Structure 1
Amino acid sequence: MTTTTGTATLEAPQPTREDVEHVDVLIVGAGVSGIGAAHTLRERFPDRSFVLLDTQDARGGTWWTHRYPGVRSDSDLFTYGYRHKPWRGPSIAAGGEILAYLDEVIEEDGLAPHIRYRHRVTAASWSSEDARWTVEVSREDAGGTVRMTTDFLWMCQGYYDHAKPYRPDWPGLDDYAGVLVHPQSWPEDLDVTGKRVVVIGSGSTAATLIPAIAQDAAHVTMLQRSPSYFLAPPLTHELAVTLRALDIPEDWTHEILRRAYSAQFDELARLSHEAPDELHAFLMESVKPLLPEGFDVDKHLTPRYRPWQQRIAVVPEGDLFAALREGRASIVTDTIETFTEKGIRLASGEELEADVVVTATGFDLSAFGGVAFTVDGERVEFPERVTWRGVMISGVPNMAYVFGYFRHSWTLRVDLVCDLVTRVFERMREKGARSVVPELRPEDAGMQIRPWSDPENFNAGYVMRSQHLLFRQGDREPWTHMLEHAQEAEALPKADLDDGSLVYR
């Protein structure tokens, strides 16, 4: 086995047995969610066997696949880091630093022998008679397929379609003679030095990428159809600076900063619902001093939606705005009429000449990694199912999933979900149950079925494009999800596991 940090591959021993291998818990995904789930099993159920399967060449999920210049967190690392593992770096960190952090967790928990890379789960079939899952796995490292069985399936594969990024089909694409690239598949040999670059998009990816490449490019233009909200916090929280100067233990600093950031974003989430105009004014006023003189804030920085109906893009120290002030970057708000040989012609008639066009146009969601699920021979159609507390799916036994927050750090919810799943494990053990499945109760008959995401709550493009692929939610607990962190931090630890919504057998 070799274990290194940075972007090197972490290798784990691969099974050579030809027969079916069985594990107590099978975790799909070796990113932040899967590693968090594995840590929890190690800590609370050390007697249970488990394996993590991941399609990629190494750990990290998004942090492994996204390698565009400047890639970094858009959440603070005190809340994006795990509850059990203090974060010792700046509040906002680069992708390589996050991978190094995950490597430390893998090493400290001895997880490497349990992780198998280049293993793609293609199908999962539940048998009530056997009370276990049979999982088909494509061995992309060695060819062929293997079959595994497990008592419990824990889906931690994230929500990206890593293989196929989202890119609109603009007119004239074939006519463009320059370089066209998507951040999700950034070429290692792409050099933008002295080049004119147009970045299409205004979200977190564009806001991260532009300051990084503007240092070397001749000029970078951010072309947006509509603006996004931005927040420009310091790279390191002033409280962290104070605590470290006082030589406070790192685990204390981690917990204090974790609570401080959580409280800050809980307040922002509250304002987004209760006082959106007030929050809008705050966000606008906080960035105005960072902008070039005469900058048209109404045109280029005023979104069409209320704050946090889409994710707020974080630009630490206002680095995006620094690139604007220095003339190394600019913003154009318009729509694309067509690509041309030399660049892009806009609806206004203006043509943006570009040697490189970066389509930072987002991604598509993947429903459970595209795995085909069956229960007792019947295919599971997820749009016909509802969620149980954003953790399990109605009618699907012994399967949990991890989906983080849109507005808060993803990992805040990883910790809460891991706590809830282990409570379910404990309840099953107490009852002597081999299976647990969410099922609608008599009082849930006639319950209103709602979309996976309410557009009034969160309406990012990748969410709206994928609604038809995803499970739904009800109008009451425990059949709802996408609550704010402050709500779930109180509700999930108290969730009643014997209210009839979980059936133990």
Structure 2
Amino acid sequence: MSAEHYDIIIIGAGLSGIGTACRIARQHPGKTLAILERRDRMGGTWDLFRYPGIRSDSDMASFGYNFKPWYSDTVLAKGPDIRKYVVDTAKEFGLYDKVKFGLRLDTANWSGTDQQWTVSALHEPSGETRSFTCNFLVNCAGYYSFDHGYRPHFDGEDTFKGAIIHPQQWPENLDYTGKKVVVIGSGATAITVVPAMADKAARVTMLQRSPSYIMAMPDTDKISMLLGKLLPKRWVFLLARKRNILIQRGLYLACQRWPERARKLLIAHMHKQAPNIDIRHFTPDYMPWDQRLCAAPDGDFFDSLNSGKANIVTDHIERFDETGIVLKSGEHLDADIIVTATGLDVQLMGGLQLELDGVPVPLTQKLSYKSIMIQDVPNYGWIFGYTNAPWTLKCDIGGQYLCRLFQHMDDHGFRVATPVDHFDSWTDTGVLDNFAPGYIKRAIERMPRQGKAPPWEVTMHYGKDKKMLVEDPVDDGILAFQTASKASSSADKDPWAATA
């Protein structure tokens, strides 16, 4: 079977992939585009995860697309609503039919002679291997494995008579009514699952090795509700988006500048929300924003503790037994269901192996360029969102940058763009070395590096990144451009035309 050719291929039909595709489709309608998706539905994370209470931990005014306003008075959206938002956006922009489902990616090989990528993928429903070629490849597949989460082995777990469930593989129609539930973990997933299960379960216990910072926040945007009575909806949305971005950025910078003061304020905030809970359960062993802050809409997590429907235990696991968990302290936690909210299994690029003329690319020996491209890898974009702000803010300005790059290449007759490190910018610092969740620490050695200074440095700073990606010249002396090679120049004068 011959390969299908497109000007641009996007990998992933989740929030990042569809957002990037919308940008490209609107600004470059003449370019052919395909979206390759591993699963049989679009939505990415928001279709995969189905655990109770699944929701965003960022407000939807800044988490959604700025070109597709999220009109709702609810601040943190539920997973099914986000999934519908992604699908509706794809249909509105004419992209739904451009998605090719059920494709497990294998390799993407760049041919220097043909100046194009060849992507090999297994079509899982049919068992066929399919090939696609493109001039530019954009990877929006996220940063973790969709096949399984991170699930450490616990001594004695085979003897446990109940169910052990990871949130990434939540059973459909699981009945936990009247059950004793233990949730292992203290991150955003645990903070969401505990109050969501507490109403039906007999009791929910959150077992943590170390506490997290949790902020109770209003789940209704009363300011926007008031403004909505006076101003057009679009204006209200834009004001909310700008306001929330500034608040998030200000909070992050304040925590970085005054970490001890921020730590005391956040611990005091948590203790005030649940004053009868021992404060040691609210005293993390790291500084604010070394990991993401957890959000509790309308303080639901704290309400579940105050009501007695849920509780916290801070300890280490000794082993599982038939009826629950034995802790290092000797305490026993009875359980019918154990939820292992133990994190993600990091997998970059959707597991895709990049090759240049058949030679594998050692990503751990390459720098990230503007957090959008990879050193020495031609015509390849990598959309990776923020860890200290709504993920999609970076995706949106990354998509704008790619559109500017495509326009620059078209205007000057270039076919290839490659980031080249001319000034020895190498450091041994990974792209997320300053971000400390366990799932990231476990994968540091699998990640590309970052350089000493921009554009090789990863700033996680929306203002700086927006200037660099949306305003600064595309031709910065670091991107190396090529016109069509002799092998492809006879096909067409259009630098994006398919080679013969």
The bucket for the TM-score relative to the shorter chain is over 0.9
Does the residue aligned with 2:205 lie in a helix, a strand or coil?
Answer: strand
Partner of 2:52: 69
What do the CA deviations read for 1:324-347 (whole angstroms, capped 9, x no partner)?
011000000000011111100001
Does the residue aligned with 1:232 lie in a helix, a strand or coil?
Answer: strand
Partner of 1:370: 351
- Cα distance in structure 1, aligned partners of 2:306 and 2:237: 34
Any conservation in 1 of the 2:425–2:452 contact (CA below 8 Å)? no
Change (3 A) 1:465 1:482: farther
What do the CA deviations read for 1:394-450 (whole angstroms, capped 9, x no partner)?
011000011001111111111110111111111111221110111111xx2364342
RMSD of equivalent CA atoms:
1.2
List alignment gaps of at least 5 residues for structure 2.
483-500
- Cα distance in structure 2, aligned partners of 1:446 and 1:300: 43
- Cα distance in structure 2, aligned partners of 1:474 and 1:496: 20
What do the CA deviations read for 1:89-115 (whole angstroms, capped 9, x no partner)?
211110111112112211211111101
The one of 297, 314, 327 aligned to 2:308: 327
- Cα distance in structure 2, aligned partners of 1:425 and 1:24: 11
Amino acid aligned to 1:452:
V
What do the CA deviations read for 1:134-183 (whole angstroms, capped 9, x no partner)?
11011112221111100000000111211021011111111111110000
Amino acid aligned to 1:56:
R
Partner of 2:424: 445
Partner of 1:411: 392
The one of 267, 278, 281 aligned to 1:296: 278
Do structure 1's residue 108 and structure 2's residue 92 form an aligned pair? yes
CA apart distance, 1:84: 0.4
Do structure 1's residue 355 and structure 2's residue 336 form an aligned pair? yes
Amino acid aligned to 1:351:
H
- Cα distance in structure 1, aligned partners of 2:339 and 2:84: 28
Any conservation in 1 of the 2:109–2:117 contact (CA below 8 Å)? yes
Mapping 1:45-444, distance limit 5 Å: 45-89=28-72, 90-246=74-230, 248-291=231-274, 293-297=275-279, 299-441=280-422, 444=423
What do the CA deviations read for 1:207-243 (whole angstroms, capped 9, x no partner)?
1111111010000000000000011110022212212
- Cα distance in structure 2, aligned partners of 1:112 and 1:460: 35
Amino acid aligned to 1:369:
G
The one of 455, 467, 489 aligned to 1:478: 455
CA apart distance, 1:284: 2.4
Does the residue aligned with 2:299 lie in a helix, a strand or coil?
Answer: helix
- Cα distance in structure 2, aligned partners of 1:169 and 1:306: 28
Partner of 1:9: none
CA apart distance, 1:52: 0.5
- Cα distance in structure 2, aligned partners of 1:141 and 1:240: 46
Amino acid aligned to 1:306:
M
Amino acid aligned to 1:87:
W
CA apart distance, 1:386: 0.7
Number of positions where the alignment pairs a residue of Structure 1 with one of Structure 2:
481
Any conservation in 2 of the 1:344–1:351 contact (CA below 8 Å)? yes
- Cα distance in structure 1, aligned partners of 2:446 and 2:426: 21
Partner of 1:12: none
Does the residue aligned with 1:101 lie in a helix, a strand or coil?
Answer: helix
- Cα distance in structure 2, aligned partners of 1:102 and 1:383: 32
**Normalised by the size of structure 2, how large is the TM-score?**
0.94
- Cα distance in structure 2, aligned partners of 1:498 and 1:65: 39
- Cα distance in structure 2, aligned partners of 1:55 and 1:189: 24
Do structure 1's residue 26 and structure 2's residue 5 form an aligned pair? no
What is the percent sequence identity of the aligned residues? 39
**Normalised by the size of structure 1, how large is the TM-score?**
0.93
List alignment gaps of at least 5 residues for structure 1.
1-17
